[in-house]
Chain A
Amino acid sequence: MTEVDPHAQADAAGSKAPETTPHHLIEHKTAPLDPAVGEVTAARPGSHAMAVVPGAVLAVGPSVRHRHEFMYFALRSKKLLVGGSVLLLFVLFAVFGPFFVHFSPFAMSATAASKPPSTQHWLGTTYFGEDVFAQLVYGTRSSFQVGLLGGGFAVILGMVIGFVAGYRGGLVDEALNLVTNVVICIPAIAVMLMVGSYLQGMSLLVEAGLIGLFAWPWAARAIRAQTFTLKSRDFVGLARLSGEGSGKIIAREIAPNMSSYLMLTFILLFGGAILTASFIDFVGLGPSATVTLGTMMNSSFFYNALQLHVWWWFIPPGAVIACIVGGLYLTNAGLDEVFNPKLRAL
């Protein structure tokens, strides 16, 4: 009975991964969950034990065969390969970039103002003579930080609310659903700009916290729907029978069975957080003490880089964001295909 059809297995692992609509991640498709999901998991008595194994990464299961299968499809997904390598490139850039930086990102110089790229200043200098390359390196680092923190906050909030609402059901579910729907209706950017205008320069942490506070609703909705279907499966009933507490059941039985889904959700929230942070920074309400890609675009725009044709000042930061976020979306779509056979290109 451990021999499950690998196709069905992969389907079980990832079916109903989110539609990879970047801006508008959608909860649809989650409600009528594929019967295959629970069917296969439930049909495998080992699943109760399996779920406890911490190594059940990506819900591919502990067996070597399934891991092979994951790699098999992962290496054949062009989206995953391209997206993943772009991401890796920029992670390396953020980690090792500072070794190649010879200027402080804030060091101004009157003699080297608005100079085009040269051997000394690889990406030229700003209107104030700051080194664009140095700013880009540190800006990329803060973009990753904001993305990780903001996406992390959002996914944690979404998980807590989604799991509790889906598992508890009833009045708790009704109340949490209401909160979720209300937060969805309130445009986050407007609140963030208003709060930001009073804070007058927030730290990266505050910015990430604000982003996380508003980005969770669709994730919570999707996780709730998944939890709802998973909780009626036999293995959850079994765990309940054996006297496990709700928290334990959610953490050990339900969450591992949708870990691939959770990962995809986090990737999308990560990308979304980077974009949102860039909006806040561009408006000029971002962190003042650190350089970010958004503040680079802000200062280049407001110091007339456009009119002065200082293109090396505003092109790199936006291009880096587009590559990172585009890479994240591509990775997400690639993983989606790996987990979910239905989406694989035929």
Chain B
Amino acid sequence: MRRYFARKIIVYIIAFIVAVTVDWGVPRIMPGNPIQEFLSKFQLQPAAAKYDYGYFFKAFGFNHPLWQQYLNYWQAIFHWNLGISMYYYPTPVTTVLSQHILYTLALMVPAIVLAYFVGNRLGAMAARRTLLDNSVLPSSYVVSGTPYQWMALMLAFLIGGVWRILPESGAFSFSEIPSWNWTFVWSLVDHWFLPFLSLFLIQVGGWAIGMRNLIIYELESDYAHWLQALGSPPRLVRRYAYRNAVLPQLSGLALALGTFLAGQIVTEIVFDYPGLGTVFFTAITNSDVFLMQGAFLLVIMGVLIANFVIDIVYVLVDPRTRVSMMGGEA
């Protein structure tokens, strides 16, 4: 068991190193000059721009040799100093990120967790039940093939624009001043619902399809036949099948995180929801290098932490690994 976690952690550490290297390297390898972009915002006289360029070149540490820049970068990361945002100048990147991360988490975590549970239940119910199987599943295929941004556009258009049931952009109404009173909280929930629904709807179908197939596999296995032969009620057999089928679904969750992240980014853009996706987008469109690097770093860390959490849950859910952890034979 220790070996299992040791291997996982080695992978995560290497992934983190690679990601940080990419984060550091891409702006340096790619064409374009971030300082020039930054200075062009101020519309300076040529002479002043040249002077400032030299100043910022030094201030950002570009005058050091590459290896030293790389080490400095690592040092800065460990001090949680990600530079200053050019777009939100002079706010530090870490401040910008911490202002927005809660919105992303509030949207992403419930959408993923709820979709996972509801989808699994739905799929388990559909397996070997013709009526459900022929109604829920076919539509799931099309829904899970839907691009996130389109689902978001459709919901924003129909529910937000045409029927005007729910607001279609922002995290709270512009007429509200952020404070902890009921109208403001209601405004938050109100604005949260559509982006949440959009993310939830697309994800739920995929889980249902996967679970349905897994349950069918499990119901065909020897232990299920054996239980049936013993005269166990179908409900009991299904319950065992479900518990076995959950394991691969859980490792599927780790694999799917990247896609969910992509969905999260485009959904936030459509609903103008002030999460990390929107920050990332703002950074990209305004070539705000430091903000982009910071958002990238935070996203990587989030995904690695989520992966690790899934690993732990896997151990808790799978009795075999649990037994071997306590020294027994699995």
Interface residues of A (CB under 8 A from B): 19-29, 79, 82-83, 178, 181-182, 184-191, 193-200, 218, 271-272, 275-276, 278-279, 282-285, 294, 297, 301, 306-307, 309, 311, 314-315, 317-319, 321-330, 333, 336, 342-343, 345-346
Among A186, A189, A198, contact of B27 (Cβ-Cβ < 8 Å): A198
Contact of B130 among A19, A278, A285, A345 (CB under 8 A): A345
Question: By the criterion CB–CB under 8 Å, are B141 and A186 in contact?
Answer: no
Apart from A178-B14, A182-B15: 13 A-B pairs, beta carbons within 8 A: A21-B207, A21-B256, A79-B141, A83-B141, A186-B18, A190-B261, A200-B32, A282-B269, A318-B151, A318-B153, A321-B145, A325-B145, A326-B142
Closest chain-A Cβ to B17's Cβ sits at a distance in Å of 9
> Which of the candidate stretches B58-66, B75-83, B296-304, B321-329 sits at the interface with the other chain?
B296-304
Q: Is B220 an interface residue (CB 8 A)?
A: yes
With A19-B213, A181-B11, A185-B12: A306-B153 Cβ-Cβ less than 8 Å: yes
Contacts A21-B207, A26-B210, A307-B161 given; indicate if A187 touches B258 (C-beta within 8 A).
yes
Nearest chain A CB to B277's CB is how many angstroms away? 9
Q: A322 touches which one: B10, B32, B150, B253 (CB < 8 A)?
A: B150
The 6 closest A-B pairs by CB, nearest first: A318-B150, A28-B248, A21-B210, A325-B145, A24-B256, A198-B30
A283 touching B265, Cβ below 8 Å:
yes
> Range of interface residues on chain B?
35 or more
Would you call B128 an interface residue if the criterion is a C-beta within 8 Å of the partner chain's C-beta atoms?
Answer: yes
Contact of A194 with B19 in the complex, beta carbons under 8 Å: no
- Is B147 a contact of A185 with CB atoms below 8 Å? no
CB of B133 within 8 Å of the partner chain: yes
Task: Decide if B149 touches A24 in the complex (CB within 8 Å).
Answer: no
Evaluate whether A279 and B147 lie within 8 angstroms (CB atoms) in the complex, with A185-B303, A309-B161 already known: yes
Whole-angstrom CA separation of A106 from B153 in the bound complex: 23
Contact with A along B1-43 (1 / 0, CB 8 A): 0000000001110110011001100110011100000000000
Is B124's CB within 8 Å of the partner chain A?
no
B228 interfacial by beta-carbon distance below 8 Å: no
Kindly state whether residue B200 has any CB partner on chain A within 8 Å.
Answer: no
Contacts of A336 in B (CB 8 A): 213
Contact of B247 among A28, A199, A272 (CB under 8 A): A28
User: Contact: B296 with A322, CB < 8 Å?
Assistant: no
- Residues of chain B within 8 A of A319, CB atoms compared: 150
A297 and B152 alpha carbons, distance in the complex (Å): 11
Residues on the B chain within 8 Å of A193, using CB = 265, 280, 284
Is A306 touching B168 in the complex (CB atoms < 8 A)? yes
- Known A186-B15, A322-B142, A326-B141; judge A23-B153 contact (CB<8 A): no
The residues of B that contact A191 with a CB separation of less than 8 Å are 22, 26, 296
Closest to A29 in B: B248
The smallest beta-carbon distance between A185 and chain B, in angstroms, is: 4
Closest to A275 in B: B147
Q: Is the CB of A282 within 8 A of B292?
A: no
Q: Are A326 and B145 in contact (CB under 8 A)?
A: yes
The interface centre, meaning the residue of A83, A283, A328, A343 with most chain B CB atoms within 10 A of its CB, is A283
Assess the A218–B15 pair: CB atoms within 8 A. Answer: no
- Chain A residues with CB below 8 A from B156, complex form: 306
25 contacts between A and B (CB under 8 A): A19-B252, A21-B206, A21-B213, A21-B249, A21-B256, A22-B206, A26-B255, A27-B255, A82-B138, A182-B11, A186-B300, A191-B22, A194-B22, A198-B30, A198-B31, A275-B259, A278-B147, A283-B265, A297-B150, A297-B153, A307-B161, A318-B146, A318-B147, A325-B146, A345-B130
Cα A312 to Cα B263 with chains together (Å): 23
In Å, the complex CA distance between A198 and B293 comes to 13
CA distance A269 to B109 in the complex (A): 26
User: Chain B nearest CB: distance from A170 CB in Å?
Assistant: 16
Q: Are A276 and B255 in contact (CB-based, < 8 A)?
A: no
Q: How far is the CB of A302 from chain B (nearest CB, A)?
A: 10
B281 in contact (CB, < 8 A) = yes
Residues of A within 8 A of B247 (CB): 28
Rounded to whole angstroms, the CA-CA distance of A148 and B189 in the bound complex is 41
**Is B148 in the interface zone, CB < 8 Å from A?**
yes
B262, A279: Cβ atoms closer than 8 Å: yes
Task: Decide if B145 touches A20 in the complex (CB within 8 Å).
Answer: no
A325 to B15: give the CA distance in the assembly, Å: 30
Give A191 to B249 CA distance when docked, in angstroms: 26
- The answer on a CB contact under 8 Å between B128 and A346 is yes
Q: Mark B196-223, 1 if CB is under 8 A from A, else 0.
A: 0000000101110110011011001000
B95 interface residue (CB < 8 Å to A): no
In the complex, A307 Cα to B210 Cα: how many Å? 37
Whole-angstrom CA separation of A285 from B19 in the bound complex: 21
* Known A-B contacts A185-B307, A283-B269, A306-B156; A328 and B145 likewise in contact (beta carbons under 8 Å): yes
- The smallest beta-carbon distance between A260 and chain B, in angstroms, is 16
Collect the chain B residues with CB atoms within 8 Å of residue A271's CB: 145
Report A249 CB to chain B, min CB distance, Å.
Answer: 30
A301 with B209: CB separation less than 8 A = no
Point out the residues of chain B lying under 8 angstroms from A194, CB to CB.
Answer: 22-23, 26, 284, 292, 296
| CA gap between A55 and B280 in the complex, in Å | 50
Interface string of B160-186 (1 = CB under 8 A from A): 011000001000000000000000000
